[in-house]
Structures are given as C-alpha cells and as structure tokens.
Amino acid sequence: MKQYIYKGLIIIAGLTTTVSCKKALDEKNPSGITGESVFTTPAGFETLVNAAYSYQRWWYGKEEGYGMSEMGTDIWTSGAGDVATDLSQYLNLQGTNAALTTEWQQLYAVINLCNTGINRIEGAGLAANVRPVREAELRFLRAFYYWHIVESWGGVHFTTEESKGVITTANKTPVETFNKQIIDDLLFAVANLPATTADYGRATKPAAQAFLARMYLTQKKNTEARDMALAVINGGYGFTLQPVYADLWKMSNLKNKEVIYAVNYSTNLSFNDLIDPILNPLGHSRGGNNGHLVFGMKYDDQPGMTRDILNGRPFDRYMPTRFLLDLYNSDIDARYDGSFQTVWYANSTTRPAGMKLGDTAIFATKNVYAPAGKLYKIYDRNAVYNANGTAKDQLHYVSLSKFLDPTRTSANEAQSARDVFVIRFAEMYMIAAEAELNLGNPGGAVPYINAIRTRAAKPGKVADMQVTADQITLDFILDERAREFAGEQMRWFDLKRTGKLLERVKAHNPNALNIQDFHLVRPIPRSQMDAVTNPAEFKQNPGYQ
C-alpha cells in the first residue's frame, strides 16, 4: 500500500469534522462528487480504507508520537533540542501541548473515517469475498486508534457512529466501554482477516491476534493474553526472530520475518502524505519517517566531523537516561551495539593534526573512560551525566541508532522511507512471559524470556544470558522490554499497563520528578475544551486546567 489515496477526490464535510468542531476543509466541491456517490462504488470505498491506514503515519515515525509514547518514562530524557519538555519532564503539562493537540485531532478524524466505512460498507458494492475483509481491516484500525485514545486520555469521547456536519458536543465514556469495543472489533478482525497479504502494510489475522494479545494484557486478561500470543507463536505463520538483532534495523532488511505488523513508508517520498488536504484534512503531515532525526546527538560540532548522510541529521531531541544504558551488559548482550551508536569516524576535510579520514573522531560511552592522550573527543559517563543521573551534557551522548537511514538522498533530508515496526514477533514472547508471571507462574515465563535473550546473546555468551525463575519479576520484565524495544513507541504504555509509571520514572529519570498521579492520563487539548458547548458534561481530565 505505497499510495493510500486517490487524488482529486472530495469527501463530504462529515469526514473532515472531528468532535473539536473545527472546520478543516473549505466546502468547495468543483467535481460534484460526494461521499454518497463515492462510497457506493468499490473503488471509492477502497479509497476510504486506504486513507484509514494512512493516519497511522501521524503517530508512528513522527516526533509527536515519540513524545507521547517514549518520553516521560524511565528510559529517555530531554536532549538540548527537546521542544516539548512539558511532555517529557511533566513541566506544567497542559492541553496547549502541540503534540497532544495534533494527535487528538488526527485520531478522532480517523475514528470518524473508520465509523463511516463500517456503517456504509453494506452499500459499497464490494465483492462477497472482499467485503468481510475490508470491514475487518476497518475494525482492526478502529480498535488500534481507540487504544491510543483511551490509554492516552482515559474515558473521553466515544462513538461508533459517523459524524455528519459540525459537532459541538462531546461525551465522557467509561474506559470499560472503549475496552469492550476494542476486543469486539479485534475478535471480528481475527475471524475475517486473511493469514497473509500481498499488499504489505495491510492488517492480517496474525497482526490482529498479536494486537489482541497486547490488548488482553492491557486489560489484565492474562490467560487470554498468553493464549493469543501463543496462537501467533505456534500458528505456522512463518514468523521468526531475526538471528542477529542488529540486522532488524538494516534498510535492506525491513520486510523481515520478525515483523508482524508495520506502518510502511514509501521510497517515493511524495507518497508519504506530505500534502493531502482531502482525506487527511487537518493539516499537512511532514511526510516520511522522522525517527532518524530525534535520537541523535550533535556530532557535527566536533573536530574532524561534518554532517553527512551516514550519521544522520541530529535534531538532538531525546537522549537515553543513564538507567537505560546501565540496563545492558554489553559484554554479553548484543542489543547494546545493535541499538546505539558510540563511535563517529572522521569525515571532514578539516581535522586535528594526526587524525586521518576514517579515524575515530568521537567516542561516547556509558562507562568511565580515561582519555589517555587520545586524539578523539570522549564523552564518557561522567562527562554526560551528573552523579544523581541528571543530564550534564545534553548535546553529546550515546545515541539510539535503530532508525538511522543511510539511504536518504542528502544529509539534510528530513524524510526517511524506513517502515515502522509496530508489532514484532519478539513481543509475543514478552507478552506470554508477562502473562505467566501475572498468573503466578514465573517458571512458565522463563522459556519465553530465554528465547529473546538467546537471540540477543553475543557469540559464545548464550549461557551467560539465560535466566531462571527466581529472577523473573515485573521489574525484570520491564527491564527486558527496555533492552529489546527501546525507542519503539511502546514504553509509556508498558509502564502504565503495569502500574509502574510513577514508581519507575521517580526512581530512574531524575529529570522528570515532576510526575504526579494525574499524569497517568494526558490533558484534553485546550482547543477541544474551548470548542464544546457542553463543558459541564465534558470536563477536563483531573489535575489539568
């Protein structure tokens, strides 16, 4: 699905209106085409389904999505370029935050799109073998988007009906209603999606099962979570752990057998929703995957270095907490080298005397490192972090390298064609392990944890990486998930699901000690609160203004 939207199609106003009551599209329709005419044709309905997928690009691989899913946790803190410290450090977080506003608007826009498709599919003229699949895709996506909403904001606005015209009221709906709808939609998806697809990026039965396993775990249905994860592991779908962890992130290996579900970005950057005022009407996306921008340190201010394609364009937004780096035993665990960049090699024509092209120019390390007269610049543990773990140098640090893209056409290119791995096969093992622990069976979690750690082991270190039942605790599982999934847009949800958000942020992220109980949900955007005409019923989440 490299191009999601048929150009030149004008959709009725109902599809461009969210509960925020903001006009998003000029009501001009020179073609005379309406939703009633378009969605009664198979080709027109396919446009709607494809557009419903495209909204995933507003969260996955975008700075706003990283800010809401990785920041404000135990494993990331602000780099010097962080533009949303209210979100990452809980500094007077309010509904004026731009990331929250953007994601709220886009999520509700696509919920309306999914509701429209589900309610209109009967009249779309789809072939008998296609209709249940397209409905299952829309139900999968509705569950997917509603999960982001309810986990982020709690019991806010909920509907399964299409919104037509301008809506000026919103409801407050219990979390349980969201959760039931999410499960119902995913069960429908599991029953009706195909096991495989030739159209990469579409939902499949194992993707629905995998997401359902995650939802069961979130809703504390541990037996169901374990069984659904095992249905994917043992389902004969052909998924497998990549033998080498670092190979997961190679641009030449994006469509590998560990990926259960991905948000795909096109190598033709013009197809990545850079401009799309029709079915993506609330503003223009920044196009491709931006993950390569936000985790990199500023290397191009150092002797021997200039900005290049290989090392990326550093926005310097986010840096690892010292706690995250210390989670890795880099002597035995290959995930440290497979996740982080620690060395930058001289690439500039202007270099210190004695430094050649290709020599080490910068070395960043989580350890204490004696310079010993080296030519290259060293940023060790004590140079980057204060004794209490707060950041001392927010410009130079060990940098997440998972999302770098050396295939970009220029050093300043902000777009990447990298696909975003939303669900990896490794997560099924971690879900099964966590469910077993929650069921009071830490011994049952051991084989699933060890399967992940066996793949992660450096050559000759498999035995050193194995764990036993007495080591399996909820904190150990969260540590393991950090080692495995750092940066993959899951951490905030992991900590909230396990009831560990406040505890672990306070223990391991000294730059975010402003966190309070009410931060377990986000503030409803101010633009939403100002727009509704029933503020007595639709109130701001507690703790926020």
Q: What is the pLDDT of residue 282?
A: 43
Q: What is the pLDDT of residue 64?
A: 96
Q: What is the C-alpha to C-alpha distance for residues 187 and 181, in angstroms, rounded to an integer?
A: 10
Query: Which residue type is seen at 402?
Result: K
Which residue stretches of 154-310 are H helix?
175-192, 205-218, 222-233, 291-294
> Per-residue confidence of the chain (545 residues) as pLDDT tens digits?
433 322 222 222 233 333 333 322 223 333 344 566 678 899 999 999 999 999 999 999 999 999 999 999 999 999 999 999 999 999 999 999 999 999 999 999 999 999 999 999 999 999 999 999 999 999 999 999 999 999 999 999 999 999 988 889 999 999 999 999 999 999 999 999 999 999 999 999 999 999 999 999 999 999 999 999 999 999 999 999 999 999 999 999 999 999 999 999 988 776 666 554 444 444 444 578 999 999 999 999 999 999 999 999 999 999 999 999 999 999 999 999 999 999 999 999 999 999 999 999 999 999 999 877 889 999 999 999 999 999 999 999 999 999 999 999 999 999 999 999 999 999 999 999 999 999 999 999 999 999 999 999 999 999 999 999 999 999 999 999 999 999 999 999 999 999 999 999 999 999 999 999 999 999 999 999 999 999 999 999 999 99
Spatial CB neighbours of 280, under 8 Å, sequence gap ≥ 6: 5, 51, 54, 55, 109, 273
- Reduced to 3 states (helix: H, G, I; strand: E, B; else coil), residue 379 is strand
Query: Which residue type is seen at 218?
Result: T
Q: What is the pLDDT of residue 167?
A: 86
Torsion of CA 278, 284, 286, 289, to 10 degrees: -40
Q: What is the 3-state secondary structure (H, E, C) of 332-360?
A: CECHHHHHEECEEECCCCCCCCCCCCCCE
Q: What is the C-alpha to C-alpha distance for residues 312 and 133, in angstroms, rounded to an integer?
A: 40
DSSP string, 230-272: HHHHTS-S-----SSGGGGG-GGGSS-TTEEEEE---SSGGGS
Q: What are phi and psi of 261, to 5 degrees?
A: -150, 135
Give the pLDDT confidence of 475-503 residue by residue, as tens digits.
999 999 999 999 999 999 999 999 999 99
Residue where the block lists tokens 């069921």: 439
Give the pLDDT confidence of 125-145 residue by residue, as tens digits.
999 999 999 999 999 999 999
Q: What is the pLDDT of residue 35?
A: 62
Count how many Cα atoms sit within 13 Å of the Cα of residue 429 in the half-sphere of its side chain. Answer: 21
Q: What is the pLDDT of residue 67?
A: 98
Give me the count of residues in the chain: 545
Mean pLDDT of the chain: 91
* 8 Å CB contact between 215 and 182: yes
